[in-house]
Structure 1
Amino acid sequence: MMVNVSRRSVPFGEAESRGAQVLTADERLVASQLMWPGQRMPKPSRRRRPQVLRGLRMPGDRWEGAKSRAWGLLAVVDLPYAIFDRLFDCRPRKKGKPLSGGWNSLAGQFAAALHPRSRTTGVVQLVQVTDRRLRITYLQRGRRSNELGAAESGWSTDLHQVAWLRNRRDVGDDNYEIGFVDGSWARVRLAPPRQTSFIRSFPDPGRSR
């Protein structure tokens, strides 16, 4: 299953507008933020990753699919060298783990939702805070970074399940951790442009670090 989580810049205003269209009628959008998995966040197993934007295509999908298969072949060829490097890699690691609580926790479910599966050219994750819920919405991205397609609502949880947001600039630029009331947390990266309104929409303890 091809997937291309887009890390190229996209027009935030259009992304936010398209994402707002898939909200339920009884929800009010508070803030949005384009988001990627944080530094060193592992990829969950295939069964945990949501399949999104099924049956939807954009110009360039076949070309991107061919590139994806080519990169996959190169990765297989390079696998023995990658394993060797990992075994003998003595470089210091950044302290702290990127996920606490496991994949079944709220943070684990949230983190897995940031690794979607899709056959479309690219997928952009838009995380939304509404007056009721924390949501992930998926947007199609074409070969050109300013080309957005359909939007699809994904994982969500009641806003009362969200405990805090804290800055982890010591780990990497624009890295944050989102904590949940079950004690779990996940590291994420806020894609540019970083939205101050999104950061301020979380409970106060999240801004203390």
Structure 2
Amino acid sequence: MDQASFVRETVERARALVPAGEVLRADHGATLAVRAPSPGHFRRPRVLRSERRTLGGWLWLPVGWLFRLFTVTSWNPVEWLVEAFTESEKKRQGKPFHGGWNSMAGHLARGLAPRTKNPSNPASVVMQVTDRRLQIVYVSRVRSFTGKPGLVEAGWVTDIRNVTWIRDRSDVVGGDHEIGFVDGSWCTVKFWGDGWSRVADAFPLRLSHLDPLPYQR
């Protein structure tokens, strides 16, 4: 399956979780922007828990145990050093995030970086905008031996009235958009695949990179 077909199938499978009675205004594959800060391991939601572990997952298991051994405390020097080096590079590319991890933007950022039982088969993330909500859906990339698609699971969701604006940042990276919330927080996401330029039309207020950021608390 080519990349375009994979994207279409992923988005279509996610549509099964649009709540009845709501109008789907836009949906697209999404990730946290490369230049945005990444949530730590335990801030990332664990998804697709009921999915069976594959051979690759079993082979990864000892590595996962070692990783947990080094991350059992709320603060550890290994994670701190990794984040310090990566964040220093990202800061040179422009501010991509505003608000803490417990802000609305922080919850969105965390939702865009899920972790699964089988790290060798990460979940694809689809962002959906309806007339009532902004929602994240996780789509398993794993297929059964008979070719049957894997699980589809709803993730973080918020009332669409909590979303105040979206700002196109394709001047920095194609597909990058900043999404702002009523609490003053915002984060940068990347819409991947063709057709991302139409997604912003579904949001309450669309801004270009030439427009100033709305008031921040």
Q: Shorter-normalised TM-score: what interval?
A: 0.7 to 0.9
Corresponding position of 1:141:
141
Give 1:49-60 correspondences, 5 Å limit: 49-57=44-52
Relative contact order (C-alpha < 8 Å, sep 6+): which is higher? 1
TM-score by length of 2: 0.73
Residue correspondences, number: 192
Amino acid at match of 2:55: R
The C-alpha deviation readout for 1:34-54, integer Å capped at 9, x for no partner, is: 011102222223332211111
Secondary structure, counterpart of 1:66 in structure 2: helix
1:181/1:92 Cα in 2 relative to 1: closer, same or farther (>3 Å)? closer
Amino acid at match of 1:108: G
What's the RMSD between the two structures over aligned residues? 3.5
Secondary structure, counterpart of 2:27 in structure 1: strand
Asked if residue 66 in structure 1 is aligned to residue 34 in structure 2, the reply is no
Secondary structure, counterpart of 1:94 in structure 2: coil
Q: CA deviation at 1:166?
A: 1.0
Corresponding position of 2:129:
129
CA distance in 2 between partners of 1:93 and 1:190 (Å): 22
The C-alpha deviation readout for 1:159-194, integer Å capped at 9, x for no partner, is: 011111112234323211111111110011111123
Asked if residue 30 in structure 1 is aligned to residue 25 in structure 2, the reply is yes
Give 1:8-157 correspondences, 5 Å limit: 11-57=6-52, 61-63=54-56, 66=59, 86=85, 93-96=92-95, 98-120=96-118, 121-142=121-142, 148-157=149-158
CA distance in 1 between partners of 2:204 and 2:62 (Å): 43
Asked if structure 2 preserves the Cα contact closer than 8 Å seen for 1:163 and 1:206, the reply is no
Secondary structure, counterpart of 1:18 in structure 2: helix
CA distance in 2 between partners of 1:187 and 1:38 (Å): 6
Q: Which runs of 5+ in 2 are unaligned?
A: 71-77, 211-217
1:158/1:67 Cα in 2 relative to 1: closer, same or farther (>3 Å)? same
CA distance in 1 between partners of 2:90 and 2:7 (Å): 36
The C-alpha deviation readout for 1:56-84, integer Å capped at 9, x for no partner, is: 137xx3225536867998xx9xx8xx87x
1:90/1:181 Cα in 2 relative to 1: closer, same or farther (>3 Å)? closer
Corresponding position of 2:186:
185
TM-score by length of 1: 0.75
